[in-house]
Chain A
Amino acid sequence: MTDERTIRIDPVTRLEGHGSLTIKLGPNNEVKDVQFNVSSTRFFEKFLEGRPMEEAVRIAPRICGICPIPHHLASVKTVEDAWDVTPPPAAIKLRRLLIEAKQLSSHAIHFYALAAPDFVFGPFADPAVRNVAAVLKHLPGVATQAIKLMEFGQELCKTVGAKAIHPTTAIPGGMMSPITEEQRDHWLSKTDEMFENIQKTVDLAKTVVNDYLDVITKVAVTPTYYLGLANDGELDIYDGLIRVMDPEGEIVEEFEPRNYDEYYGEHVSDHSYATHIYYKAAGYPEGIWRANSLARCNVADKMATPMAQEALEEMRELVGRPSHHTFAYHYARVIEMVQAAEWIKKLLEDPEIVSEDVKLADVEANAGEGVGVVEAPRGTLLHNYVCNDEGIIEKANLIVATNNNIAGIEKSLMDAAKLIFEDEGHKGLELPDPMVET
């Protein structure tokens, strides 16, 4: 093959957003360019202008139906930062319960519905088969544990947030309502079963990792910077300082979210409606960073809970720290699921979780600027609003989780495309037999 050609994959599937892929090949299959084309945008930053600050907390979740809870909470933290409000401790515990429950269900849906079909049926199975409906048919036990975990996470979100998708209970100064003792007891009674399913997920993940070790360690191994929250060095998805790790594994920055614009660069690409966020000091594209589970596991010194810490140590033995292995994201997600499960139990066992003291009564709007950060399943999520003295938004800047990864995804696709088109390296990979033959 000597001609130039362009390969288009449209849409990119098993992705809850909107995107296509363009691969440009030159003579002898030389990979000239790989584009991840995010093909829509809805202008939230514009129409948040003019809205009351507290209403952004209810509008912003609509950015993402899989991670509405991180948006709800990043938004309320932004308002509280601008108005200098500290909610009661029980409200913060409820919020953490909410975000950990979301982490659990999001990682479960990602691992089982978006990723597992490739591993279960093999990457070359027919599209009619390589999906979650087929997992249900061929491996009902696996599907059941997946659904039970998603159900646990989503329904717990609903208990705390009124709605699992686009929650409405967080408000500047706390939460609109507490949870009752009956609700707490109900969820406590379900935690044993939840832990059993977590254990099964860990076991399945380990099998997959061992089976696909050759793929994991050879395909899309892409050194980048990494971005994530750490709280006293521990992996934390609700609070902490923002860390940046360089490709050699050195923590090069640790800063207060408020100062993010000193460190965050935003590159407007010519082929994607999603901008590319990068480490400003290193410039673009040298400073491309990635966020999400693996990035968090890279930047954190340790996990916050014991079972998760054990799992992290095992992963580090296998792939090191930092791990640049794009496929290790799946592994890291499972480790984070373990931490979320342990957090949920701990919070439910805390007597303060049913406290009725969850909302301040004397919150006042004032002119100011706020920044709020949490970790969404897909990475560090940052909201920044400026408001006038009536608390009406004048400017909004949103750095959504995925935008931290777009450039990294392209880079990693470039590595994968080179391996496949230039070196035909995929032919020599050791692939296990699919768990299920179709």
Chain B
Amino acid sequence: MPDKVSVAMGQGSSCWGCFQSLVDIHMNLADVLPQLDIKFWAAVADFKHEHLEEYPDGSIDIGLYEGMARTEEDVHLLKVMRDKCKTLISFGSCSTFGGIPGMANFSDIEECYDVKFRNNKTVKGGEVPTENLPPITDVVKPNKDYVDFDIYLPGCPPTSDLILKALTALLKGEDIELPPHTVCHYCDREKEDTPIPEVLRPYQGKADPDRCLLEQGYICLGSATWGLCEGQCVNKGAPCRGCFGPPPPIHDDQGAAGISMLGSYAPIEPEEILEQVKDPLGTFWRFSYPTSHLGSMRIKREEANDQ
């Protein structure tokens, strides 16, 4: 099949939402799928891990890796994908920044095990399972610390439009051009540059649908977030939580940028802000803790423990 582009789709620990978003290009599948020679995609085709391992290095044109690497098997698959694929794409925010499951790094792994297997409402005294299972890593390290990627396509998930645009360019052998704007650029809400008197939680009151949410006191990460989603939440009433990560250069600290934005809008005493913002870590670093400055100190601590 010489005129087809060979692809491999790898899945680390993830929710499959990025792949679902790919499937959601709908009728465009009829154009795209026939151009692909699927070499590996566990959820769709019956190839096994050994199939992937047996392909010659660099023999697959495009690889997409979804999810973070939570287990040794994930790390292994990530490295195999790197070896086999000419162009390796970091697919989605888990793969690019650690994503939501990167918040597990807020705790130690033993505390995670406690809640999951040893002591919770319906579970008492279990042991961490081990038989025929890959060990879990002590901490979520960003995928980019294991392998180099050629392209980052962030988003939780990347939108179907974005995926289609990227795939179309790749299939033609062209570069992917992505606009650098933040979410605010695509937001229909009016900014009046007024300071906010107090920080509100999204269930409190009723927001004016035409005015900037941040200016009404609702924390919105739009200005610290890459706008590849074109503002889908903020235009439907929900404040941005930053799921596309920071704008390029995309490994800047999104959380730090978000907090300083809030600081510049809210002329409130620091102690009071601290009182009003209930969960800074889980609000500003929800999607990018492992790649952030704070998060990398956390990973270093773990590495020091190991030695």
| A, B: real partners | yes
Binding site for B on A (CB under 8 A): 8-18, 20, 22, 35, 37, 39-47, 49-52, 54-55, 58-59, 62-66, 68, 109, 113-114, 127-128, 130-133, 136-137, 140, 143-144, 147-148, 150-151, 154-155, 158, 162-166, 168-169, 171-173, 175-177, 261, 264-266, 268-273, 275, 277, 359, 361, 363, 365, 384, 390-392, 395-397, 399
CA distance A63 to B100 in the complex (A): 9
Q: Is the CB of B21 within 8 A of A46?
A: no
Q: Which residues of B, 1-51, contact A by the 8 Å Cβ criterion?
A: 11-21, 23-24, 26-27, 29-30, 33-34, 36, 38, 42-49
In the complex, number of A-B residue pairs with CB atoms less than 8 Å apart: 263
Chain A residues within 8 Å of B180, by CB: none
B249 CB → nearest A CB, Å? 25
Q: Give Cα A47–Cα B132 distance, bound, in whole angstroms.
A: 26
A16 contact set on B, CB distance < 8 A: 16, 19-20, 43
CB-CB under 8 A from B44, the residues of chain A are 13-14, 113, 131-133
B286 touches which of A54, A59, A271, A395 (Cβ 8 Å): A59
Assess whether A171 is in contact with B203, with CB atoms less than 8 Å apart: yes
3 interchain residue pairs of minimum CB distance: A65-B17, A268-B126, A176-B237
The yes or no answer to B168 lying at the interface (CB within 8 A) is no
Min Cβ gap A263→B in Å is 10
Query: Could you tell me the distance in whole angstroms from the C-beta of A30 to the nearest C-beta in chain B?
Result: 19
Q: In the bound complex, do residue B206 and residue A164 qualify as a contact, i.e. CB atoms below 8 Å apart?
A: no
Q: Is B123 a contact of A266 with CB atoms below 8 Å?
A: yes
Interface flags for B270-281 (1: CB within 8 Å of A; 0: not) read 000000001101
B243 within 8 A of A: yes
| CA–CA, A277 and B21, complex, Å | 30
In the bound complex, how far is the Cα of B204 from the Cα of A363, in angstroms? 6
* A140 vs B13: C-alpha distance when bound (angstroms): 33
Interface residues of B in 176-202 (CB under 8 A from A): 201-202
Task: Please name 9 further chain A to chain B contacts, defined as beta carbons within 8 Å, in addition to the given A40-B71, A50-B281, A133-B33, sorted by A numbering.
Answer: A43-B104, A43-B115, A65-B17, A113-B23, A130-B46, A144-B27, A173-B203, A176-B202, A395-B120
Contact residues in A for B111 (Cβ distance below 8 Å) = 46
A128 and B21 alpha carbons, distance in the complex (Å): 23
Is B241 interfacial (CB 8 A cutoff)? yes
Task: Check B34–A54 contact: CB distance below 8 A.
Answer: no
The distance in angstroms between the C-alpha atoms of A41 and B129, with both chains bound, is 11
Give CA–CA (A272, B127) in the complex, Å. Answer: 11
Expressed in whole angstroms, the Cα–Cα distance for A45 and B70 within the complex equals 16
Annotate B114-149 by CB proximity to A: 1 below 8 A, 0 otherwise.
011100111100110111111010000000000000
How far apart sit A169 and B74, CA to CA, in the bound complex (Å)? 32
Report whether A66 and B16 are in contact in the complex, using a CB–CB cutoff of 8 Å. yes
**Chain B residues, CB < 8 A from A270:** 127, 129-131
A13 to nearest B CB, angstroms?
5
Given A11-B48, A22-B132, A43–B34 Cβ distance below 8 Å? no
**A265-B123 Cα distance, complex, nearest whole Å:** 8
Cβ A13 vs Cβ B45 within 8 A: yes
